Structure 1
Amino acid sequence: MLDDMTTPQKNSPAFLIQSAIAFGLSFAATGFGIFRLPLDIWQRGFLLMATLFLVSSTFTLSKVVRDQHEATRVHHRIDEARLEKLIAEHDPFKTVN
C-alpha cells in the first residue's frame, strides 16, 4: 500500500520555471521601485538592505520548513516499519509461560 508518506513528491519542470521567473520578476520590480523612489541614497540603501535581508531569511525559512517536513516523514516511516515488524512477529496462538 503506497501513500503520500512513502512516495516522494516532485515538482514539474514547468512549476520550477514559473517559480524562478516569478521570483526574478518580483525581485527586479522591487529593486526598480526602490531605485525610482524620490529618496536620498542612504534611504534607498536601507530599503535595498532590508529587501536583501528579507529574501535571504525567506530562503532560510523555507529550507528549515522543508528539513522539518522531511524529518517528520522519516520518523513516520521508521515508526511504521517498527509497527509492521511487531505485527509480523506477533503470534496470537503462542502461550505465555
Structure 2
Amino acid sequence: MHSRIQKPSAAWVSFSCASVVLSAGLLGYGLLSMPIDQWQRFFLLMGIAMFAQAIVVATKTLRDNEEAEKLMREPDDAGAVRLPRELQGSV
C-alpha cells in the first residue's frame, strides 16, 4: 500500500507565516507599551523566547518520532530500497 504524501497548500503556508509575523509584532508592541522597567521587559521577552523555542523543539521531536515509527512499520511506503535476493543473504 502506497500512501500519498500531502503538502500544505500555499494559502496555508502564507497564513502560517502571516500569523507568526502578526503575533510577533503585536507582542513587541505590547511589551514596549507596558508601563514597566526595562529589565522587566527583557525578562518577559526572554521567557517568551524560551517558551517558543521549547514548543518548536517538542513539535519537531514528536514529528520525528512519528516519522521514524512510520518508517519502521511501512518500509515499502517510506521509499526504502529493497536489496536483490542474492544480496539479502550476504548482508
Name the TM-score, length of structure 2 as normaliser: 0.74
Number of corresponding residues: 77
Residue number in structure 2 paired with 1:27: 24
1:9 to partner: Cα distance? 2.5
The root-mean-square deviation of aligned C-alpha atoms, in Å, is 1.9
Q: Matches of residues 1-97 of structure 1 in structure 2 within 5 Å? A: 1-2=1-2, 6-78=3-75
Q: Secondary structure at the match of 1:78?
A: coil
Runs of 4+ in 1 over 3 A off after TM superposition: none
The structure with the largest alpha-carbon Rg is 1
Distance in 2 (CA, whole Å) between partners of 1:27 and 1:76 is 39
Distance in 1 (CA, whole Å) between partners of 2:10 and 2:24 is 21
CA-to-aligned-CA distance 1:50-74 (integer Å, 9 cap, x gap): 1111121121111111111111211
Distance in 2 (CA, whole Å) between partners of 1:28 and 1:55 is 15
1:44 to partner: Cα distance? 0.5
Distance in 1 (CA, whole Å) between partners of 2:9 and 2:74 is 25
1:79 to partner: Cα distance? 9.0
Q: Secondary structure at the match of 2:6?
A: coil
1:43 to partner: Cα distance? 0.4
